[in-house]
Chains A and B, each alone.
Chain A
Amino acid sequence: MSRASADVDAFVEAQGPALLRLAYVLTRDRSSAEDLAQTALLQVCRRWRRVTAADDPTAYARRILVNAHLDAQRRRSSTERPTDPMALVVMSEGEADPMSIVDDRDQLRVALSLLRPRSRTVLVLRYYVGLDDAAIGDALGVGQGAVRSIASRALAQLREQFRPSSRAEKEAT
């Protein structure tokens, strides 16, 4: 086995699980997540020399994965309709109960699902992967200013639609 081939193997084994988790967080669909992660890893393998010469392979794989995800979302956008946002307001009203934290998380998931794919992706990269705005912009092919603007609008939309229960708020503080 050549040195390059061994390096590729090591990269796939080391980064594959994390890329799959990222793909799942982005898609919330197991088969789509596997497809995305596989696509990204194979692209990196195929272009290994070029990638390692000019880029961080992990960032490169993440960029491929994110853009493949956004492309797929664009293709689906003409056929799928989001949940009615008003339903969330109704869901957020009412007394806190022992399951409220779980409910809040589910509610936040619904609120996240109402965001535009690019907005949701920015939040995933910021809050799950922990990237700064520059790295997010690099992954999405946009500038830092655009990232800040997208994130700001997305968070504002979430604040409007997601109202945590009082108990969850207390626990959070």
Chain B
Amino acid sequence: MTNLDRALREVFEEDATDAPLAAPMLARVQRARRAAPRRTALVAASVVAVALAGGVSATLLGSSDRDSIAETGPAVCPWDVAVWTDPGKIGVVSAGDCELRWSGEGYWKPELAPDGASIAYVEAANRSASATRLVIEHLDDRERRVVVETDGAMGEVAWSPDGTRLAYWADSPSGPSPAAFVYDLRTEKTQTVGDLEVGVADPEWSPNGDALLLREGGAAGDLVSVDLADGSRTPLPDLFNARWSPDGTQLVGTERRTRPRQPGALVVVDARTGEVAARTESLGSITDAYWGPGGIAVAAEDGLVLLSVDLRVESRVDLGGIPSFGA
């Protein structure tokens, strides 16, 4: 060992003895750790609250969260993060300590994985002007994995509830219209689930991941539930903003209006048969409906209305205007 080696050891050891006491820092760490689950719970609660009480979810986050994300319109995600989009920009904020975990530009259709560890998005591919690719990126180490690349457009990415598959629509290589696909991250295989002749839009997973809700024929097409195991389709009534019940057996949505200015009825449909289980026209114009733990919350023209699953009105909440759901 040289003199310099020895001197370096001594200097560093001496410096270390001047370090501040650890106890205050450790106390702060433990406080932050204890606070994180509470705030995570707050965000989780906000999902429920948004569903049941309406309003923009950012109002339920802490002030610093709000400063970061309220301007761009957040969507609260299931775990401890919020994701928001700006034109061409994505950010993920940890609700535990408001730390910006990840951000990027030039992407669209960002969807956070159910475990909050990865984000899937679509970006332009270099090989042609219209080419796009679907990418999964890990938030911590920013490891990227290009899942699919296509010469056409791609969009409406949706993670399966267990985070093992991704549903998306893309211009079909073999047909004139977009089709829906499911990519399995474990097998790295792609399954075509949409009708290649008429196109699809807006895949939405059933809660158990067994089925996808698709609108075949684009945004104004027919609503169908596709069983991913056997490919069978269940035609459904023409509902706007159809959403699965927590157990995946029913859907709630509003019927298409038959005449201008006429409000669409609120409908609950049996997802297995497509038959209408309940229907009501008594709520006037409805902007949206969500399932909550005990029933259905509806954003109606005179405020928030809470209904049982058979669409009996349980209570009304006057929010001073038409509520909008933020999640």
Contacts and interface: CB of A to CB of B under 8 A. Distances in A.
Interface of A: 8-9, 12-13, 16-17, 20-25, 28, 30, 33-34, 37-38, 41-42, 45-47, 50, 104-105, 108-109, 112, 123-124, 127-128, 155, 158-159, 162, 164, 168-169, 172-173
Interface string B17-49: 011101011101110110010000000000000
21 contacts: A13-B26, A17-B26, A24-B16, A34-B25, A37-B25, A41-B29, A42-B29, A42-B33, A46-B36, A46-B94, A46-B96, A104-B7, A109-B15, A112-B11, A127-B5, A128-B16, A155-B4, A158-B8, A159-B4, A162-B4, A169-B3
A108 B8 contact: yes
B261 interface: no
A105 B14 contact: yes
Nearest to B36: A46
B18 A164 contact: no
Given A8-B33, A46-B36, A20 B12 contact: no
Contacts of A162: 4, 7
B15 A24 contact: yes
B317 to A, nearest CB: 36
Contact of B32 (A33, A42, A124): A42
A173 B96 CA distance: 53
Contacts of B19: 20-21, 23-25, 30, 33
Nearest to B14: A105
B29 A108 contact: no
A128 B12 contact: yes
Contacts of B9: 127-128
A42 B97 contact: yes
Interface residues of B, number: 32
Main SS class of interface, B: helix
Nearest to A23: B19
B115 to A, nearest CB: 10
Given A12-B30, A112-B8, 8 more contacts: A16-B25, A24-B18, A28-B15, A50-B117, A109-B11, A128-B13, A164-B3, A172-B6
A103 to B, nearest CB: 12
A139 to B, nearest CB: 15
Contacts of B117: 50
B26 A16 contact: yes
Contact of B20 (A33, A108, A168): A33
Contacts, number: 94
Contact of B10 (A12, A42, A105): A105
**Residue of B11, B14, B26 most packed against chain A (CB within 10 A):** B11
Contacts of B71: none
Contact of B7 (A28, A105, A124): A105
Given A25-B15, A46-B36, A124-B12, A20 B22 contact: yes
B41 to A, nearest CB: 15
A30 B18 CA distance: 9
A16 B22 CA distance: 7
B140 interface: yes
Q: Can you list the 8 inter-chain pairs with the closest CB atoms, starting with the nearest?
A: A24-B19, A128-B12, A17-B22, A21-B16, A127-B8, A21-B19, A172-B3, A30-B20
A173 B5 CA distance: 12
Contact of B11 (A22, A45, A108, A169): A108
B29 A16 contact: yes
Nearest to A106: B11
Contacts of B13: 128
Nearest to B33: A45
Contacts of A164: 3, 7
Contacts of B94: 46
Contacts of B30: 9, 12
